[in-house]
Structure 1
Amino acid sequence: MNSDRLRQRMRTVKLFYSVLLLALLQSGALEGRKSRGGRNPQPRRAQPSPTYRGRGDTTESFSLDFTAVEENIDNFMTQVKNLAQSLYPCSAQNLDYDMKLHFLENTSVTCNDGSPAGYYMKESKGSKRWLVFLEGGWYCFNRVNCDTRFETMRRLMSSTKWPLSKTGTGILSPLPEENPHWWNANMVFIPYCSSDAWSGAAARTDQSGYAFMGSLIVKEVVKELLVKGLGNAKVLLLAGSSAGGTGVLLNVDRVAEQLEELGHTGIQVRGLSDSGWFLDNKQYRCTDCLDTISCAPTDAIKRGIKYWNGVVPDRCKQAHLGEEWNCFFGYRVYPTIKSPVFVVQWLFDEAQLTVDNIHLTGQPLQEGQWRYIQNLGSELRNTLKDVPAMFAPACLSHEVITRSYWMDIQVKGTSLPRALHCWDRSLNDNSRNNKTAPKGCPVHLIDSCPWPHCNPTCPTVRDQFTGQEMNVVQFLMHMGFDVQKMAQQQGMDPGKLLGMLSSGS
């Protein structure tokens, strides 16, 4: 083809691209409004305006390779589609938002049962922000309770029945109305199949019966993601819930060091630990260490770290030589972490109460149990007071960042997505040598009210037997809260106290 014909073909293709993109964007705006209205006809809170976005939230440029057009028009059209979707992801009704399953190329890094470990991924063309999420799901710490776990929760020990795709929710959602500040990031979900709080580095043996490779799985996933675009990232947010939240505390510095060693010094590695800040306190009622539920946290971790060949951060290991189990507890490992970490923690965490042998059945709590729960909230506040970036509601719950209601919880009038956005802004501003936090943008948020669910934005509580929803007063009375006695202790009228509880004061 001569040069005149080539130039004419290129002009035609460029014109076609411009018209197509304009049509996509125009129809996308309409369809986006329709689909949002169809999903939720009730009015929602106003979405942030463009000026609300921090400089770190802007969509990066997406270049088109016109040299590919002449020989491969299909490849060019794929680029046009990807560009349209990156500029306006709602531009088509049938976009595939799901994360796709990838098994690790290094087959020696496996789940507990020897099946291949892997991850789910959804690329966001043009974005230089990556969110890597570690799933939670308790752990097991000897052959007997690992065998039981394998029989009852095999999905958390084997990849043999993992689905081929997964839909992200909460902070993993690709929808801006559910995830206003991270919806356009590259999303990676790493399923939990190592049962070791993401710490293990042990191959399968006849004696153990299982492999424990949580720390190695994280390392291998990061290595593979570098080939898939992570090497061009500006920010990598390592997030996780429950055991995954503990995994963030154990792995965030190691991921930063891994990237630096491979020459990727420009990637800012940050951590987001949700419901992984456990306390090594004494149980309300001491029991034998038979399984994960009955065993005190300290005893379980002491057994587990040996069984898993658990790996802890070097700086924490040096601070607790011979007692490395300490590094599994947030308030002990956090002071040794160099990477920025945002901590999300319910003040009355259900998982913590469970291992402390406070079981919330349909029966009212005894006074000693009630006092224990209040003390737990006080102890958690004390361990979190020196954490600069945190969100701690006075609620009875467990995990939040991947819940569909995660935008609704507030502490002192600020939602969790807003607080995370403020944290992003503060880190971006500090990297520009501006040490002052953004005005009106708080990042240290902790409830001061002393009872479970004294925060009116807490998730709904239901009676465990009837399934009926309970308001705050009903919930507290259900738990054995003595309004008369507490009012007397506080020196106020019982009616006034009930009013304060109902309003969340």
Structure 2
Amino acid sequence: MAPPSSPPSSASAPISRHLRLWLRRRGRAGAAGATFAVALLAAALLLTLSYYASVASDSSSVRSPALVGLTLVSGAQEKGALCLDGSAPGYHLQRGSGTGSHSWLIHLEGGGWCRNLKSCASRQRSILGSSRYMERQIEFTGILSDDKSQNPDFYNWNKVKIRYCDGASFSGDVRDELQNGTRFFFRGQRIWEAVMNELVFKGMRKAKQAFLTGCSAGGLATYIHCDAFRALLPKDSRVKCLADGGFFLDVEDIAGKRTMRSFYSDVVRLQGLREKFSNCNSNLEPGQCFFPREVVKHIVNPVFILNPAYDAWQVQHALTPESSDPHHSWLDCRLDIAKCSSEQLEILQGFRKELHAAISEVKQKRDWGFYINSCFVHCQSLNSLTWHSPTSPRVNNKSIAEAVGDWFFDRREVKEIDCEYPCNPTCHNLAFVKPFKI
């Protein structure tokens, strides 16, 4: 891809087109309202997939990704493990083969959170709150691919994608169903437990190695559940975790507001999560305990942090939300980092420094790893272009897949931090047609 200072490449058109097509499809599926949570879904689930679509359309040598069917959790009603609307949660399982038949890779889907009953009601009528709207088959790409050339270390493993339909990173467990006269099921913790129990029964209990991964809100869920995942597996097995695009920062936005902290506080109160983070400092606001910077302090199992220094979603909605930019002075910069002024870039460099400070404790953990590139993107493990391809982003000449594989198999220590934007010409920086509303 051309350096950030160059004009947009032809890949920008396919990406924009897939964004529009996806939004239209979501409208037909019943997603209502231009909400904060829908904005994150667009970044977490769509943007990375549009990468793959644009590359596949330009390369006849790329074989079609595997289509993997949806499995609904059995006995979900009796277990109380239900999506927001009361439907059974689901997952997609692709069996491993050969040397990977006793290895398991679990991926937690992302898609934001709902902070109040109105936004949760909207999700009830979408794939983010009901299995009734979920696709019956999905493509497995990137870290889930079964193509060795695209996924050299994990291609033949048992691979699972767990669908996200609870609105709180697989963490809530509220018994009361009625909220203001409407039924809501805040049961993410039970969904996690029910799916894990099924996978253990289906062979994961004999895993020789296992990898819990997640993107965006699923990346946050990976931090939250990493140690619990370790406890499910044999003591002599290799078990690690990878959080992709899930290190959300508790930063002041351009107007001096704590937009993300306020949002997280609403989620924590709505789904009764404060008890789940009982080991969090009691002097902190409820929402602060939901940030990865606090969660990672208590994780024992090794974790790999995969994050862009200029996370596109966080730049748009945590650092420069529209509510804090009434004169739209940040509009062009929010859409395309190449259009940021020198003053705006200085603020973005400050955001990068906040991320570095937030992972400072991780730098001291010998078994942990990280890969922080200087790209304007959100989630990079679920598509073949950014995960592992001839044109993948690189840091110290390593693709993300190579770095993650080296770390997982202890081939070398991996603690990669890229230089400041616009130093890395290998980045696939997103360019938006218009910002997602919040």
Mean CA deviation greater in 359-368 or 322-331? 359-368
C-alpha separation in 2, matches of 1:318 and 1:454: 40
What whole-Å deviation, never above 9, does each CA across 1:258-292 have from its counterpart, x for those lacking one? x16xxx434433210001101111111256xxxxx
Partner of 2:179: 206
The correspondence of residues 27-46 of structure 1 with structure 2, limited to 5 A, is 40=59
Secondary structure at the counterpart of residue 305 of structure 2:
strand
C-alpha separation in 1, matches of 2:140 and 2:274: 29
C-alpha change, 1:462 and 1:318, in structure 2 (3 Å) is: closer
For structure 1, the residue ranges without an aligned partner over 5 or more in a row are: 1-38, 45-92, 288-294, 427-437, 466-505
C-alpha separation in 2, matches of 1:268 and 1:222: 17
Secondary structure at the counterpart of residue 348 of structure 1:
coil
Secondary structure at the counterpart of residue 132 of structure 1:
strand
Partner of 2:416: 445
Alpha-carbon distance, 1:106 to partner: 2.9
Partner of 2:278: 317
Q: Which amino acid aligns with 2:198?
A: E
C-alpha separation in 2, matches of 1:454 and 1:177: 28
Q: Which amino acid aligns with 2:248?
A: F
Alpha-carbon distance, 1:97 to partner: 3.7
Cα RMSD of the aligned pairs, angstroms, is 2.7
Verify: 1:280 aligned to 2:250, yes or no.
yes
For structure 2, the residue ranges without an aligned partner over 5 or more in a row are: 1-57, 323-329, 334-338, 363-367
Partner of 1:327: 289
C-alpha separation in 1, matches of 2:137 and 2:71: 9
Q: Which amino acid aligns with 1:309?
A: G
Partner of 1:101: 70
Q: Which amino acid aligns with 1:194?
A: D
C-alpha separation in 2, matches of 1:312 and 1:404: 39
Alpha-carbon distance, 1:155 to partner: 1.1
C-alpha separation in 1, matches of 2:174 and 2:200: 25
CA contact (8 A) 2:148 2:155 kept: yes
1:241 to 212, 215, 221: 215
C-alpha change, 1:105 and 1:458, in structure 2 (3 Å) is: same
CA contact (8 A) 1:198 1:243 kept: no
CA contact (8 A) 1:362 1:464 kept: no
C-alpha change, 1:266 and 1:312, in structure 2 (3 Å) is: farther
Alpha-carbon distance, 1:304 to partner: 0.9
Partner of 1:381: 356
TM score, norm. by length of structure 1:
0.64
CA contact (8 A) 2:308 2:372 kept: yes
Partner of 1:252: 226
CA contact (8 A) 2:109 2:162 kept: yes
Mean CA deviation greater in 273-282 or 139-148? 139-148
Partner of 2:345: 370
CA contact (8 A) 1:106 1:220 kept: no
CA contact (8 A) 1:395 1:454 kept: no
CA contact (8 A) 1:134 1:239 kept: yes
Partner of 1:345: 307
CA contact (8 A) 1:219 1:255 kept: no
- Higher RCO (Cα < 8 Å, 6 or more apart): 2
TM score, norm. by length of structure 2:
0.73
Identity of aligned residues (%): 27
The correspondence of residues 215-234 of structure 1 with structure 2, limited to 5 A, is 215-234=189-208
C-alpha separation in 1, matches of 2:215 and 2:116: 23
Verify: 1:173 aligned to 2:145, yes or no.
yes
Secondary structure at the counterpart of residue 318 of structure 1:
coil
Q: Which amino acid aligns with 2:172?
A: G
What whole-Å deviation, never above 9, does each CA across 1:53-95 have from its counterpart, x for those lacking one? xxxxxxxxxxxxxxxxxxxxxxxxxxxxxxxxxxxxxxxx99x
CA contact (8 A) 2:280 2:294 kept: no
| Equivalenced residues, count | 348
Secondary structure at the counterpart of residue 83 of structure 2:
coil
C-alpha change, 1:109 and 1:463, in structure 2 (3 Å) is: closer
CA contact (8 A) 2:123 2:130 kept: no
CA contact (8 A) 2:104 2:157 kept: yes
Partner of 1:398: 378
Alpha-carbon distance, 1:461 to partner: 4.1
Verify: 1:307 aligned to 2:279, yes or no.
no
C-alpha change, 1:350 and 1:209, in structure 2 (3 Å) is: farther
What whole-Å deviation, never above 9, does each CA across 1:82-125 have from its counterpart, x for those lacking one? xxxxxxxxxxx99x943221111132211111111111101114
C-alpha change, 1:239 and 1:312, in structure 2 (3 Å) is: farther
Verify: 1:269 aligned to 2:239, yes or no.
yes
Alpha-carbon distance, 1:326 to partner: 3.0
CA contact (8 A) 2:280 2:289 kept: no
CA contact (8 A) 1:250 1:312 kept: no
Task: State the structure with more CA Rg.
Answer: 1
Alpha-carbon distance, 1:41 to partner: 6.4
Alpha-carbon distance, 1:167 to partner: 1.7
C-alpha change, 1:143 and 1:205, in structure 2 (3 Å) is: same
CA contact (8 A) 1:199 1:311 kept: no
Partner of 1:141: 115
Partner of 1:196: 168
C-alpha separation in 2, matches of 1:118 and 1:463: 31
